[in-house]
A and B are shown apart, each in its own frame.
Chain A
């Protein structure tokens, strides 16, 4: 069953230099207990998409389209109703645990405050729950650590705290933005193991530029390029039968596949190229690609791609 359906979603920031089209006409859906990977280069708009779902962008942002969550359009409800959804229904684990934790507040308090807000528990019960959450993310001696401050935790431990915070109210959907960024290999594999457990009981949107993480954790993968989706399929199909040249390029840039970089740079979201947005970097580009913007087409059942030559 579909938990979240995004249709025609557009997020634009007006700036003095022009309109930044950070998210451009995106259609996606996440089923219950499904894990979707949103993959793309830095600056392609994937974090903005996550923040749009949570309605956490500044008020000057323009958002169009629909985000249907359990039958409700999140873009139409009031701010107070949206606050009830945040943390309780949909939780977001922001990137950079070091800066995403309040340095002058005890870790336990930061986990407990959402529990107290959404579940109305007493201070003491919420703290008990916070200790349980720390234990659930495998933080040793949680009843001591609960009273400590973020600077007393290592990078990997802080990421665990972030995950505990996201899990605190047992949400149906968790959006995790770059959950393994900046972690060394051993810590990264531990965090991935933890995330794997998390995905078993709920839906998850994992935003990452790390294909290894996506392959390990995700049921389906959506590739994002310059604000729009270019390919969308099951994880198996993406890895075995990539159709879009960008997807192939992305896979080719993996260390295990020879570390071949995609030539060129991703375009500015203010000045997007005409035609296919990927054509200036694409080896197979033709006159058609330069002139016309390709639509997303369903090549096989559930395998979408935005390319004339796929």
Chain B
């Protein structure tokens, strides 16, 4: 397996091998699914839409609905106006969504389709019914990564929907980042436990983790409603989780509606969750309830119980920048050693922040933006690690290097529990600890000499 990968590192400037990122539109599609009653629309070749739906479906094991402008050569030459107008007419008459969220693709970006003008024209000629909404985001695949696409679509929500009426509402906005429905559910649970009213957008819980009831609902119960996103302009503050996925939309909302933004990292592990909880507490003027303190206490208890299994372990991480940063922080809390940390996404903030975190404790750590899994694997061949944490694509490396493996981030194509168990918040940290411990001990139990095979650990 992966027999073409050797320890000898040849410099590459042009060839990407085994990427650790994908393209913007899939992130935009995922974000749009977090609006209630929304049909995401892909403006480009139908293959983009098909690939994104397929990949999201493989990850969530749930229906992922989206439409496409189905460009053929003609549209690629003459522009996609006719295709988009026809698409909108069909979408509203056949599928009747409240809102359509259009994102672009490399094709429509290269030909320079002007989406706002097209939406306006479609409206004028009656392809968008009264009371219905069409928003858009520019998501060229040749810029950034899927995380940027997510961020751009959230910015689209702010730009099109959020309004300041002047009547401040006693609520706090949360922009959760490109995280699982289970994570969004966990954020809502924590806020509720604290008695804080939040408006979270996007919110894919109850959209991409729906029940099987015998009834199919094209627009499930979940998702932030248009009214909620509109009201975000009147909130006390915005808590934005993750620099790459959430900070720009939060800053946009601050600029547009004067809602102060708090730029946090994803609440993975103790201190990042402490900060998140404290931010909610500070803005809402509530006390941290005993129940939340109890959760935190249980996590600390578990960390102390299991400290021996984590301390000093060398870890390789591949993932999205916000996830890698936040996870690194948590691993450092466990006194593990993240030695190789890559993200496929571009953006200098990643390396800057990772050096801040790692330089004092793991000074020789290799940190790379625009990295790929091929290079990460080569580093591992040169000096091995005790644990690999990445999305599903890491499984090949884990197998060939026989290294414990924890699946984390997007996409997870070969396991299912990520739909149910968050990795955010105190309970999310418990979940991560559980997965890492299992990975270590399963390997030991499978491989250790018989005399060291023990009942109790």
Asked whether A and B interact, the reply is no
The chain A residues found within 8 Å of chain B, CB to CB, are none
